[in-house]
Structure 1
Amino acid sequence: MATKKEVIPFDSLRREDVALVGGKNSSLGEMVQELGAKGIQVPPGFATTSDAYRMFLDENNLTEAIAGYLADYDADKISLHVAGQSIRDTIVAGDWPDSTEAAIREAYRDLSKRAGVPEVSVAVRSSATAEDLPDASFAGQQETYLNVAGEEELLTACRKCYASLFTDRAITYRKLRGFNHLDVALSVGVQQMVRSDIGGSGVMFSIDTETGFDKVVLISAAWGLGENVVQGAVTPDEFQVYKPFLGKAGIKPIIEKKLGAKEIKMIYAGPDAPNPVRNVPTSKAERGKFVLSDDEVLDLAQQASTIEAHYGQPMDMEWAKDGVTGKLFIVQARPETVQSRVSAGSLRRYTIGTHGPVVVSGLSVGEQVATGRVCLIEDVKDIDDFVDGSVLVTSTTDPDWVPVMKRASAIITDHGGRTSHAAIVSRELGVPAIVGCGDATHVLHDEQEVTVCCAEGDEGRVYDGFAEFTVEDLNLDAVPETKTKVMLNLANPAIAARWWRLPIDGVGLARMEFVISNTIRVHPMALMHFSDIREAEVREEIETLTRGYEDKAEYFVDQLALGLSRIAAVAYPNPMILRLSDFKTNEYADLLGGRQFEPVESNPMIGWRGASRYYDPAYVEGFRLECRAIRRLREEAGFDNVLVMVPFCRTPEEADRVLAVMAEEGLVRGSNGLQIYVMCEVPSNVILAEEFAKRFDGFSIGSNDLTQLTLGIDRDSDRLAPLFDERHAAVQWMIRSVIERAHGVGAKVGLCGQAPSNYPEFARRLVEFGIDSISVTPDSFLKVKGHVAEAEGQR
């Protein structure tokens, strides 16, 4: 009979049992017992105990032998590799105590009976008593064996798990963390395999792993078994979900969907194969399709939130989708140990300066900048060649690479996503990394001087040569409160979450042009009239960008809504004022397919831009796509904090025409709390302020354009640059006038521009005029907040 001393079913374990069965297994037991009724599905299984491990050592007289090998290693009599290999060989050759062997066999038979098959396939995972602790968690310290079937194979896999407690990387880890090697025991978790070999699997975090933004769930997904995602052997799909909206009726709060390459998948090997699993290339169809549906993404996000709420801390989880039943399972859950421990009162900002050309790029990890000389190592057997302080460049990493990763100034890999081994370990080590570059090992060479920049958003860039950069520590503990709202100007969704800790009053200017030019990249009219595109190369590139979308217009709507939602999420519940597209004709022409739909203007700055485009038959179809994206953002994603702002609206009559088109697309002022603002950047906006206020809820002063048109100066002219000054008396009169007249009829007024950041006296004048809000770039937020507080104190 199985005794609880040696083998315990998951449903008899709790999270307090770490000393008995390690972090992974105690967590699985906790979820089975406490969270099954809340929709968390965990595959059934059992765990051997730390008592069973020590009994195994005693049965084979291994304690003294292990201590001897480790003592010889510490005394430099033998190498780490020799010590580890000798210990592992001795353990694998050991015999099971009769009672332990009987207990494992009986538990396996019970599991097989429960599954309704003679010999159920199981995953055999190591769970050390010193891992997955709040202050000690490293990716992949011990081994996992998948698709193990049969009692003899299981007993062998369990011995191999015991042996993996003494891999080179595990010995090094414990030595670094100060754990006595013989004080750490190992439990083996035996869990029924989920048929993710014909489904999918991945990793998820209940916190943004890069910024620590605690309101999102990050999910990675690939085809097949999950080891490829964990090891970084594939570039997975990535999703982000906004947690506060989960469970709200009619709301689908997915704020990011990124299609990964998913180059290979791990599947079951045949019965005669030397290994139970193998990797095969994915099909073209698999690479071009998301692993998870939207409903499955939301299901996983809800499970992540449930698990996080139960444990009371951010969590790192692994999930698997059964390809037969379609069910989603949680196969591991452990505390997240990097971002959750960052001080809420501090923020370190890296800013890149002068730099060389981009050599390679990939996914950024770490929000830092580092310089160094490349050390290219393609095989782990060559890690002794690594030069301390170099930039490690390799195809992919696993735990064997940790000894050199911690000595690197930065890490660059060909493969992997944000939840790969390289990404997880680099975060824990505090080393910037760029993963999933694709060709870094082919493009970069030994001794090459490079700058690794992870401070420019989701995309990490490797610049040739040593770039200039600055590092600044910001203190958020003493930010003054102000009556005047201080908000942010944001454009790039990829870096918006970096500023979530700032005590902002919202986003005063969100520019959709960045999403259109950097993510969508296609002129909206080229999507509406794709069959009319004349250039074959342009058609081919648009086809590539829009793969997965049967309706090319839907590509524009979906990608714009997703991109903007990441900014709205950071602002929520404070307002995000979204400016409608304000490209000039020459800028629109630079989009794919754009030249076919744009005129050539001698002065685009005051040409066909802003409001004049939105009702024009030559562009109104494109504008309708913008409106549909905003409606999706507000109504389907749930971000009703999004307000809309119309730029460069020259006359009240033009405003009426724009508002009429918006209403036709379901964007009606006052409906569902929708507010619509107008940019104040044309003198007519000031002169006819009362008329514009009848049509809009407020004004946002665009100080650059208002200065340009008030003083008659081309703001891009080098020759006239000394004359361009927002502090000029004429510009100040304009600003003061529109504030007074707007307030006279109950409209709000804000200002978005760089002047309050550049000139403290300008910020003080705005406060004197009674401005309602000031919106500035994130790097100047604290400075302007201080200027405003000082000005308010003097009123």
Structure 2
Amino acid sequence: MHETKLVRNFKDIRRSDGALVGGKNASLGEMISTLTNKGIAIPPGFATTSHAYWQYLDANAIREKMADLIAEWQTGKATLSETGDAIRKLFLRGTWPKEVDTAIRAAYRDLSRAVGAADCLGVAVRSSATAEDLPDASFAGQLESYLNISGEDAVLQACRRCYASLFTDRAISYRQTKGFDHSSIALSVGVQMMVRSDTSGSGVMFSIDTESGFDKVVLINAAWGLGENVVQGTVNPDEYQVFKPLLGEASLVPILEKKRGEKEMKMIYASPAPLNAATGSPNAAPTTRNVPTSRAERSAFVLSDEEILRLARWACTIEKHYGCPMDMEWAKDGVTGKLFIVQARPETVHSRRDAAEAAVFKTYKVEGHKGRVLSKGLSIGDAAVAGRICLIESAKDIGRFIDGSILVTRVTDPDWVPIMRRAAAIITDHGGRTSHAAIISRELGLPAVVGTGDATYVLHTGQDVTVSCAEGDNGFVYDGVSKIVTDTVDPTGLPSGETEVMLNLANPAAAFRWWRLPADGIGLARMEFVVTNAIQVHPMALVHFDQLQDPIDKERIAVRTAGYKDKAEYFVDKLAHGFAALCAAVYPKPAILRLSDFKTNEYANLIGGAQFEPEEDNPMLGFRGASRYYSPRYKEGFALECRAIKRLREEIGFTNAIVMVPFCRTVGEAKKVLDAMAENGLRRGENGLKVYVMCEIPSNVILAELFAEHFDGFSIGSNDLTQLTLGIDRDSEELADLFNEQDKAVKWMIQHVIRICRSKGCKVGICGQAPSDHPEFARFLAEAGINSISVSPDSFVSVKRNIALR
């Protein structure tokens, strides 16, 4: 490629060239020159330099006129709209200096020939400002990009329009807020070979969890067609999460989650623009257009597992090279089937936090009465706010926004930034975690619920609501104003001790919120939560789907399991991936996963469950826990539980998962359960598998020495143990005063089992609520020699300190 100081080939650009070609183009050059030899594919191209920009300004006498126009706006003599329009016209009416014109044409011809496309290569023409992609400013969507541009004249016109986009109203406003000098910022234009993702898919990728800052996952969003719809948030994309530490094992598939998005539309190439009869040049017609996706496209994932893993590995390589979390755009060529990285920049929220700031975090909880759920979507951030809605459907009406309101709209773009800054929270109909609304909300520190699908339909201006992003991946809009409690957690400098402090976690969607706590693992993860919230179907109803008698249940199950040829695979897949998120949050520390402990009335409430469950007068002491696993009534359902855990450990790779058996009444029952597990491929000791038992029945304590021969550890369930030791229904209001986990009889039971376990070399912990509520009880457990205490995350710091005071 012919190079001058006006044009640079990407392969000759480095990260240090930001002042010459802007952050975006400098990053592309850095990757092409240093990472292509590591297997990462980046489309070739070239960049105009800041010298070309300044020559364009000087050749058309724009500098002085622009400075005067900005000064008039800053002194209140002109509006932002008038100023932006006037400056853009200066650029659009300008002519190219001969030297710049020649350099760009020559570079485009060289690029076309290099990829074998004669002189009419389709290219993406993107703006790259010299102040763009800085750690404290993303400039998300502020500048323009033009896709599917073909021909020298069209490329030059697109470059001119990129220059003008440096002075859109939103870009002027953004720079003013960030304190950038309008006259000192130059613009480079990147001209890059188009990837034919119009016939395949594209999206955005982060090398970090965008909400919690958890640094061990890659987050990928994907939609059909060109990537602008994902970036702008006009579609709800697929979402994939991949666990980085296990990517080096070629035999594993460490995908934590695959969430199918609606992907209602896709952006494709428009028909070529007709030539203007007078000039012989193409008319200024759109080069892309949106079309609806097919039902098949909406119901399918954009990427295969192999492609998800390849992109995730590329993300890790790019992150390692840059030394910070990265925000990347990718595209798949529908003609060749190849994947490409088309942009990369530093992530702008978590990457700019220093270690001390990152360690301290604030927690939010919606307490007391919650109104009914009016709408829900993806949560952005982890805060909660209550306030009054201001619904605005069009950017032309943003003047009606009331400061401090909760903004509700269909979708945001950079035109909305001025009022997003004045909002208390944001709710949108469309968009994923990498949409414009999500990126800007994070940058502003605002809670946002995006991709609700119905917010502008079910909500209205003047309505009082509570917006909660404090409950995991899902964000909720509750009717009315609820009480919101905040707490600042500083886990730094906590005392150490012999007694480990672990976490009770149930919700996989919220697991990453707590990754900064120096916990010793997960002491209790309840399978019931994953089944109730992510699966919602009785496992036996999936195994015997054809025999279901209730047509409504059958239809509901058919809808939920769409895309699964085997209905039972739905249960295995959802459970394995739900547990995977929990294991990932503490990896490589242990995560103790309790097998299902539904009672019959609870199982009956699952979809299709009533047909498979007996009616019991006292489900609390009935057909629950271990007794189900080898019973003909449920053993096929238990086989699915075992398949899920086997997949979790052997295919996804979380060998830190420990299995725990609940409500195991006798030693004989323990043997039957272990045999049933072995029949389904889970053998204690094989591949490092440990099996624990819940210690919640007096027989577990009395025969602790015998139970210890069959299990690697005990977890004391103090609620059930208290109930059965004292003979008190823990739910009885009349006996509430008698229910006491610190009763002498209960404490004797606990001390006895701890002593036996220690003598037998068995691990012993507790996963009840009492240590969280009563500091003296936590100290008693530590003094008794318990190995671990497992508590709710909000109690972690206080319990850690309490046991250090003994």
**TM-score above 0.5:** yes
Per the alignment, residue 279 of structure 2 pairs with none
CA apart distance, 1:655: 0.6
Q: Which amino acid aligns with 1:351?
A: K
Per the alignment, residue 345 of structure 1 pairs with 359
Q: Is the 8 A contact 2:220 2:239 kept in 1?
A: yes
Q: Distance in 2 between matches of 1:116 and 1:392?
A: 49
Q: Distance in 1 between matches of 2:646 and 2:351?
A: 34
CA apart distance, 1:17: 0.3
Q: Which amino acid aligns with 2:153?
A: E
Q: Which amino acid aligns with 2:786?
A: I
> Residues 48-99 of structure 1: CA distance to partner in whole angstroms, max 9, x if unpaired?
0011000000000001111111111112111101110111112011000001
Aligned residue runs from structure 1 range 491-502, under 5 A: 491-502=506-517
Per the alignment, residue 143 of structure 1 pairs with 144
Per the alignment, residue 131 of structure 1 pairs with 132
Per the alignment, residue 231 of structure 1 pairs with 232
CA apart distance, 1:271: 1.8
Q: Distance in 2 between matches of 1:3 and 1:417?
A: 40
Per the alignment, residue 15 of structure 1 pairs with 15
Q: Which amino acid aligns with 1:125?
A: R
Q: Is the 8 A contact 1:2 1:102 kept in 2?
A: no
Q: Which amino acid aligns with 1:77?
A: K
Aligned residues: 791
SS of aligned partner of 2:223: strand
> Residues 177-208 of structure 1: CA distance to partner in whole angstroms, max 9, x if unpaired?
11110100000000000000001000010000
Structure 1 gaps, min length 5: none
CA apart distance, 1:210: 0.2
Q: Which runs of 4+ in 1 moved over 4 A?
A: none
Query: Is the counterpart of residue 444 in structure 1 residue 463 in structure 2?
Result: no
Q: Which amino acid aligns with 2:48?
A: T
CA apart distance, 1:264: 0.5
SS of aligned partner of 1:694: coil
Q: Distance in 1 between matches of 2:261 and 2:735?
A: 48
Q: Which amino acid aligns with 2:183?
A: L
Per the alignment, residue 302 of structure 1 pairs with 313
Aligned residue runs from structure 1 range 621-660, under 5 A: 621-660=636-675
SS of aligned partner of 1:82: helix
Q: Is the 8 A contact 1:580 1:644 kept in 2?
A: yes
Query: Is the counterpart of residue 293 in structure 1 residue 308 in structure 2?
Result: no
Aligned residue runs from structure 1 range 486-565, under 5 A: 486-565=501-580
Q: Distance in 1 between matches of 2:488 and 2:756?
A: 41
Q: Is the 8 A contact 1:138 1:425 kept in 2?
A: no
Q: Is the 8 A contact 2:3 2:107 kept in 1?
A: no
Per the alignment, residue 40 of structure 1 pairs with 40
Q: Which amino acid aligns with 1:92?
A: L
Identity of aligned residues (%): 65
CA apart distance, 1:255: 0.4
SS of aligned partner of 1:431: coil
> Residues 682-724 of structure 1: CA distance to partner in whole angstroms, max 9, x if unpaired?
1000111111001001110000000000011111111111111
Query: Is the counterpart of residue 375 in structure 1 residue 376 in structure 2?
Result: no
SS of aligned partner of 2:229: helix
Q: Is the 8 A contact 1:2 1:104 kept in 2?
A: no
Q: Which one of the candidate residues 321, 325, 328 is aligned to 1:317? A: 328
Q: Distance in 2 between matches of 1:29 and 1:246?
A: 26
Q: Distance in 2 between matches of 1:178 and 1:2?
A: 37
Q: Distance in 1 between matches of 2:174 and 2:761?
A: 64
Per the alignment, residue 371 of structure 2 pairs with 356
> Residues 571-628 of structure 1: CA distance to partner in whole angstroms, max 9, x if unpaired?
1111001100111001111110000101111111010000000000110000010001
CA apart distance, 1:272: 4.1
Per the alignment, residue 730 of structure 1 pairs with 745
The range that moved more, 179-188 or 369-378, is: 369-378
Q: Distance in 2 between matches of 1:138 and 1:561?
A: 39
Per the alignment, residue 798 of structure 2 pairs with 783
SS of aligned partner of 2:446: coil
Q: Distance in 1 between matches of 2:287 and 2:26?
A: 27
SS of aligned partner of 2:267: strand
> Residues 112-138 of structure 1: CA distance to partner in whole angstroms, max 9, x if unpaired?
112222301100000000010122223
Q: Distance in 2 between matches of 1:57 and 1:105?
A: 19
CA apart distance, 1:2: 4.3
The range that moved more, 2-11 or 496-505, is: 2-11
Q: Distance in 2 between matches of 1:255 and 1:703?
A: 32
Per the alignment, residue 394 of structure 1 pairs with 409
Q: Is the 8 A contact 1:14 1:26 kept in 2?
A: yes
Q: Distance in 1 between matches of 2:92 and 2:676?
A: 74
> Residues 151-185 of structure 1: CA distance to partner in whole angstroms, max 9, x if unpaired?
11111100000000001111011111111101000
Per the alignment, residue 471 of structure 1 pairs with 486
Q: Is the 8 A contact 1:60 1:94 kept in 2?
A: yes
Q: Distance in 2 between matches of 1:660 and 1:219?
A: 40
Aligned residue runs from structure 1 range 139-218, under 5 A: 139-218=140-219
SS of aligned partner of 2:776: helix
Q: Is the 8 A contact 1:352 1:453 kept in 2?
A: yes
Per the alignment, residue 282 of structure 2 pairs with none
Q: Is the 8 A contact 2:230 2:434 kept in 1?
A: yes
Per the alignment, residue 703 of structure 1 pairs with 718
> Residues 748-790 of structure 1: CA distance to partner in whole angstroms, max 9, x if unpaired?
2100011001111111111111101100000000111011111
Aligned residue runs from structure 1 range 225-264, under 5 A: 225-264=226-265
Q: How large is the RMSD of aligned CA atoms in angstroms? A: 0.9
> Residues 457-484 of structure 1: CA distance to partner in whole angstroms, max 9, x if unpaired?
1110011111101111111222111111
Q: Distance in 1 between matches of 2:348 and 2:494?
A: 28
Structure 2 gaps, min length 5: 275-284
The range that moved more, 246-255 or 277-286, is: 246-255
Question: Scaled by the length of structure 2, what TM-score is found?
Answer: 0.97
Per the alignment, residue 104 of structure 1 pairs with 104
Q: Distance in 1 between matches of 2:352 and 2:142?
A: 21
Question: Scaled by the length of structure 1, what TM-score is found?
Answer: 0.99
Q: Distance in 1 between matches of 2:322 and 2:428?
A: 33
Q: Is the 8 A contact 1:522 1:542 kept in 2?
A: yes
Q: Distance in 2 between matches of 1:378 and 1:210?
A: 26
Q: Is the 8 A contact 1:685 1:692 kept in 2?
A: yes
Q: Distance in 2 between matches of 1:14 and 1:413?
A: 38
